[in-house]
């Protein structure tokens, strides 16, 4: 419960209609896609940077935790109000300020839905590549804070690669600008990159300047089915080492395929042990050449079938199915330990076989899918926590997965962030001085630890 | 048993992924989590567990759903949020008592004699018989009903209900299907010409058309208000009325009635009253929309459209979209000689009526509708066709208030004109 003078201050900042305090509201802002739940004390919906600044300034003075939140679709608990406090929802700040077709940039507020921006820029022949599976509902503010990736990262990189500048409200309430609208800039530290992926712990993003690309002339979406998961994994390595970088190179194992098939018109034979969704883009000649070359590179690798989507609609159907995978794994088991490990691309076959070995050792359902082309695999350990011993068993399997990933030179999170879910494991990847450096930055910017506390770093 | 118990398992299948945020017309307008499916499911669970009280606030949250089913169709886990909302409304009604509007509605819907004559509804609505009254007219009164504000398009009550216009059995050709026509209140009392068109078209392809005389309101308004007991009473009478005749199909021309017979009878009544589940399934299995059936039976539009070159667009009623009956109307419209079919943006987005949603949340309902009106205008169509009298009402209300001249008609009316 917040003290009444705090509530009246919040009301005077954002207006009575933009603060929510009833139990019904608190429940609805207690969760994200991890299914963890922590009740906040209040939810505020500020309209602009000035209001965000006043909220944060007050919270800092009163040492009340503030938890920035976009669509609440994160996979690591990054927006969850653990320990209580104020949830600060950015979705009212949802205007595309401008799309500059001369400089190929867009300036947006943080609550803009990623897919909405993509539609708007594509109407102008421009392209904003980052495409997390949540693109139809997640916000750009959340995407920047988590440094979201997506299938196209294999060719086009992740959110960070498109952020030129930001406006950020610091944990003290100060408003700063980082970067700018230029393609280059080396004056001072790169605060833009620091904020990007900082998971809402260093500042609240209130404006984003994004780099855009020309929209590729055409693209071709291909579906390759393999009889074995190993075949698909080796195909990924073969394509990359064949010096072709497709715009997407997505992977789904047998269970992932089955989970989305109930919703799909796709005709996939029982024998398919894994599939790849491969997209190439560019001008017509290049696309034709690359798709042929890809077929050649993978045809001897347990390939059952290889075909191109007939039209945009069929390609979209394929992508819709791909985007449904993660939530639909509920069909396997009620609880999901959702990892997004990354290994060097040549190690994809090896990590896949290591995951197989872990699955067998613990006899526990593990579903793999993801952005194999950039080495980023979503490994989902599916359990029913109500069965005694399952959670412990999954914990052991997870630890082995992390060890294997790190041994192969990988990282434990490619795009979901650490948040709450992975905080217990960061010390396996980062050494004490790395963690101490990060904590020093956090402390310098947020001396009272009021902004999204309890995230990234394990509790002492 | 608390009604929410019957969807306890389904509620647990929501993984809070947030996909519904992209597909909920109400959330698009209101922007707050309690309005979206994920929030509704969280709140429904909280009602069941006692974490929140069944107070006015909870009731208001649960009322903010059109039951359009778009979230259900887009949900990766098929969480039936519409059924969950109905169960939550039913639970709240039990804990809180039915609201006064729904009490009145319940009396109207249950009283078969009143329904048959239409006198009661006519008595309520008669001061409102002012179709196409200009905005400047002093006749645009504050209407005497609390939920109807000034400026609304109100259709007039038919002078002779559909059911009184036709015999019970209209014989067709011997080898052709026997069909039971389920009219529903909107066709019976407000748009009987839609029913006339259905009868003519189905008769025209040789069907024997039977209009079971004991059919009632399908019960959807009662269900949407959480009055599942009344829904069941009406459904039982309808089951009996329909079971009285042997037939190949049970045909509706109102997407909402079709949605009830085909979807909610088995999904809600079948679950709440397992003893009726088999009968509900049997009716659902035979239920088909008139337009789809015409397509199945090989109907082709004739050349009789008076205004050749007419630009037509089509609005998908939610209850047909949910049955995937979206291709047939377009195929038939494309086949209208001399007509031009144009697709509008967001053709399958809800018109905002949501049955009784429109009465409680008129502002939100019309904000949702404004997107539809804009899409219709942009399409350049002279006429917008649809498959649901409820949508017709709402589309007309929105277009007339905005002064847009596009006409609204049921697709069956247009098709009937082509073969006249």
Burial bucket for residue B275 (CB in 10 Å: 0-12, 13-18, 19+): exposed
Residues in a beta bridge with A339 = A379
Range of the domain at A243: 218-407
Residues B291, B316, single domain; the answer is no
Query: Are B22 and A115 inside 8 Å of each other by CB?
Result: yes
Q: How far apart (Å, rounded) are the C-alpha atoms in residues A124 and A215?
A: 9
Does residue A333 sit within a domain? yes
Model confidence at A214, in pLDDT bands (50, 70, 90)? very high
From first to last of its 420 residues, chain B has per-residue pLDDT tens of 799 999 999 999 999 999 999 999 999 999 999 999 999 999 999 999 999 998 889 989 999 999 999 999 999 999 999 999 999 999 998 887 766 556 665 665 565 444 443 433 443 443 343 333 333 222 222 222 333 344 555 566 677 889 989 999 999 999 999 999 999 988 988 889 999 999 999 999 999 999 999 998 899 988 988 889 989 999 999 999 999 999 999 999 999 999 999 999 999 999 999 999 999 999 999 999 999 999 999 999 988 765 667 899 999 999 999 999 999 999 999 999 888 999 999 999 999 998 778 777 888 999 999 999 999 999 999 999 999 999 998 999 899 989 999 999 999 999 999 887
Nearest residue, CB atoms, A33 vs list B13, B18, B43: B18
Residue B413 in 3-state DSSP?
helix
Residue B245 in 3-state DSSP?
coil
Model confidence at A460, in pLDDT bands (50, 70, 90)? low
Residues B284, B245, single domain; the answer is yes
Could you give the residue ranges of the DSSP H alpha helices within A4-146? 4-14, 23-28, 49-62, 114-123, 140-146
The residue-averaged pLDDT of A390-395 equals 93
Q: Establish how many alpha carbons lie within 13 A of residue B253's alpha carbon, considering only the half-sphere containing its beta carbon.
A: 33
| Residues B374, B346 contacting (CB under 8 angstroms) | no
Residues B339, B235, single domain; the answer is no
Smallest Cα distance from A460 to chain B, Å: 30
Query: Are A263 and B76 inside 8 Å of each other by CB?
Result: yes
Does residue B306 sit within a domain? no
Q: Which of residues 22-81 of B touch A (CB under 8 A)?
A: 22, 31-34, 38-39, 42-43, 46, 51-52, 57-58, 61, 75-78
| Residues B70, B25 contacting (CB under 8 angstroms) | yes
Residues B251, B326, single domain; the answer is no
Q: How far apart (Å, rounded) are the C-alpha atoms in residues A177 and A169?
A: 9
Query: Residue A114 maps to which CATH number?
Result: 3.30.465.10
Residues B167, B290, single domain; the answer is yes
Query: Are B77 and A27 inside 8 Å of each other by CB?
Result: no
Element (H, E) at B272: helix B270-272
Range of the domain at B72: 3-96
| CB < 8 Å to A92, chain B | 31
The residue-averaged pLDDT of A97-120 equals 98
Residues B278, B319, single domain; the answer is no
Stated pTM of the model: 0.92
Does residue B212 sit within a domain? yes
Q: What percent of chain A has pLDDT over 70?
A: 99
Compute φ and ψ for A44, nearest 5 degrees: -120, 150
Q: Looking at the predicted complex, does its ipTM rise above 0.90?
A: yes
SS3 of B13-32: CCCCCCHHHHCCHHHHHHCC
Structure tokens at A291: 């798709």
Q: How far apart (Å, rounded) are the C-alpha atoms in residues B391 and B414?
A: 16
pLDDT computed for residue B136 by the predictor: 28
Query: Are A136 and B19 inside 8 Å of each other by CB?
Result: yes
The residue-averaged pLDDT of A25-39 equals 97
Q: CB pairs under 8 A, 24+ apart, for A258-261?
A: A259/A324, A259/A325, A259/A328, A259/A329, A259/A331, A259/A332, A259/A367, A260/A321, A260/A322, A260/A324, A260/A325, A260/A328, A260/B76, A261/A321
Residues A42, A119, single domain; the answer is no
Cβ partners under 8 Å of residue B263, min gap 6: B284, B319, B322, B323
Query: Residue B379 maps to which CATH number?
Result: 3.40.50.1860
Give pLDDT tens digits for A143-198. 999 999 999 999 999 999 999 999 999 999 999 999 999 999 999 999 999 999 99
| CB < 8 Å to A134, chain B | 17-19
In the DSSP assignment, the letter for residue A124 is T
Residue in chain A closest to B77 (alpha carbons) equals: A328
pLDDT computed for residue A342 by the predictor: 97
Model confidence at A290, in pLDDT bands (50, 70, 90)? very high
Q: For chain A, what is the mean pLDDT?
A: 95
Identify each DSSP E strand in B213-332 by its residue range.
Answer: 249-252, 287-289, 311-315
Cβ partners under 8 Å of residue B80, min gap 6: B7, B10, B72, B267
Total count of domains within chain B:
3
Residues A116, A169, single domain; the answer is yes
The residue-averaged pLDDT of A259-267 equals 75
For the cut 70, the answer to whether the pLDDT of residue A254 exceeds it is: yes
Query: Residue B241 maps to which CATH number?
Result: 3.40.50
pLDDT computed for residue A96 by the predictor: 98
């Amino acid at each position: 419960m917040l003290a009444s003078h705090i509530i009246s201050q919040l009301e005077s900042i954002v207006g009575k209609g933009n603060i929510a305090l009833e139990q019904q509201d608190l429940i609805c802002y207690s969760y994200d896609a991890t299914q963890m739940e922590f009740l906040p004390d209040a939810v505020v919906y500020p309209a602009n940077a000035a209001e965000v600044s006043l909220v944060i300034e007050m919270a800092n003075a009163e040492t009340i935790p503030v938890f920035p939140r976009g669509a609440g679709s994160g996979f690591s608990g990054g927006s969850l109000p653990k320990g209580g406090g104020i949830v600060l929802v950015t979705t009212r700040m949802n205007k595309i300020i401008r799309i500059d077709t001369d400089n190929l940039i867009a300036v947006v507020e943080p609550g803009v839905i990623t897919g909405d921006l993509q539609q708007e820029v594509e109407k102008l022949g421009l392209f904003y590549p980052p495409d997390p599976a949540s693109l139809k509902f997640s916000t750009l503010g959340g995407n920047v804070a988590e440094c979201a990736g997506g299938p196209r990262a294999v060719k086009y990189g992740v959110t960070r690669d498109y952020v030129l500048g930001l406006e950020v409200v610091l944990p003290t309430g100060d408003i700063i600008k980082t970067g700018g609208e230029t393609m280059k800039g080396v004056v001072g530290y790169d605060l833009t990159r620091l904020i990007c992926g900082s998971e809402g712990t260093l500042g609240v993003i209130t404006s984003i300047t994004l780099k855009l690309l020309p929209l590729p002339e055409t693209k071709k979406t291909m579906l390759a089915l393999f009889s074995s998961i190993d075949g698909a994994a080796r195909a990924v390595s073969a394509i990359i080492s064949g010096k072709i970088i497709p715009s997407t190179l997505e992977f789904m194992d047998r269970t992932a395929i089955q989970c989305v098939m109930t919703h799909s018109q796709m005709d996939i034979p029982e024998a398919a042990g894994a599939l790849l969704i491969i997209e190439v883009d560019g001008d017509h000649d290049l696309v034709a050449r690359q798709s042929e070359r890809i077929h050649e590179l993978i045809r001897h690798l347990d390939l059952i079938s290889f075909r191109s989507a007939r039209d945009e609609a069929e390609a979209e159907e394929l992508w819709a199915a791909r985007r449904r995978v993660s939530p639909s794994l509920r069909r396997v088991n009620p609880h999901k330990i959702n990892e997004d490990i990354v290994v060097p691309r040549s190690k994809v076959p090896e990590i896949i076989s290591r995951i197989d070995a872990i699955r067998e050792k613990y006899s526990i359902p593990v579903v793999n899918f993801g952005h194999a082309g950039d080495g980023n695999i979503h490994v989902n350990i599916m359990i029913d926590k109500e069965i005694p011993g399952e959670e412990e068993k999954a914990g052991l399997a997870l630890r082995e997965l992390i060890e294997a990933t790190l041994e192969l030179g990988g990282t434990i999170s490619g795009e979901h962030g650490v948040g709450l879910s992975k905080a217990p494991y960061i010390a396996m990847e980062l050494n004490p001085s790395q963690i101490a450096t990060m904590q020093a930055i956090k402390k310098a910017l947020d001396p009272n630890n009021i902004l999204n506390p309890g995230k990234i770093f394990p509790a002492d | 048993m608390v009604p929410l118990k019957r969807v306890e398992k389904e509620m647990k299948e929501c993984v809070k992924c947030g996909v519904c945020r992209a597909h909920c017309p109400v959330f698009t307008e209101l922007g707050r989590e309690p309005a979206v499916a994920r929030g509704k499911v969280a709140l429904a669970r909280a009602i069941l567990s006692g974490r929140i009280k069944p107070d006015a606030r909870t009731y208001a949250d649960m009322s903010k759903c059109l039951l359009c089913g778009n979230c259900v169709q887009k949900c990766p886990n098929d969480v039936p949020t519409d059924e969950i909302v109905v169960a939550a409304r039913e639970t709240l009604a039990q804990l809180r008592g039915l609201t006064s509007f729904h009490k009145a509605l319940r009396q109207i819907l249950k009283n078969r004699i009143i329904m048959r004559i239409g006198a009661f509804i006519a008595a309520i609505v008669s001061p409102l018989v002012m179709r196409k009254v200009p905005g400047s007219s002093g006749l645009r009164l504050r209407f005497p009903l609390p939920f109807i504000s000034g400026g609304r398009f109100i259709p007039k009550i038919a002078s002779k209900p559909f059911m009184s216009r036709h015999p019970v059995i209209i014989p067709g050709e011997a080898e052709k299907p026997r069909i039971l026509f389920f009219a529903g209140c909107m066709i019976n009392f407000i748009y009987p010409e839609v029913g006339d068109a259905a009868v003519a078209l189905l008769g025209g392809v040789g069907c024997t058309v039977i209009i079971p005389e004991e059919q009632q309101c399908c019960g959807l308004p009662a269900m949407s208000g959480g009055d599942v007991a009344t829904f069941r009473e009406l459904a039982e009478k309808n089951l009996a009325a329909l079971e009285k005749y042997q037939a190949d199909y049970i045909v509706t021309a109102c997407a909402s009635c079709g949605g009830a017979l085909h979807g909610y009878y088995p999904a809600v009544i079948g679950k709440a009253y397992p003893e009726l589940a088999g009968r509900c399934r049997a009716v659902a299995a035979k239920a088909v929309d008139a337009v789809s059936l015409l397509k199945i039976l090989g109907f082709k539009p004739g050349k009789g459209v008076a205004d050749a070159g007419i630009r037509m667009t089509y609005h998908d009623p939610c209850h047909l979209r949910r049955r995937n009956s979206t291709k047939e109307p377009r195929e038939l419209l494309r086949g209208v000689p001399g007509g031009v079919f144009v697709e509008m943006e967001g053709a399958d987005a809800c018109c905002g009526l949501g049955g009784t949603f429109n009465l409680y949340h008129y502002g939100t309902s019309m904000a949702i509708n404004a997107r539809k009106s804009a899409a219709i205008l942009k399409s350049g169509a002279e006429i917008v066709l649809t498959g649901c009298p409820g949508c017709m009402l709402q589309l007309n209300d929105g277009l007339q208030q905005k002064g847009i001249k596009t006409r609204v008609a049921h697709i069956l009316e247009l098709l009937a004109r082509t073969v006249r």
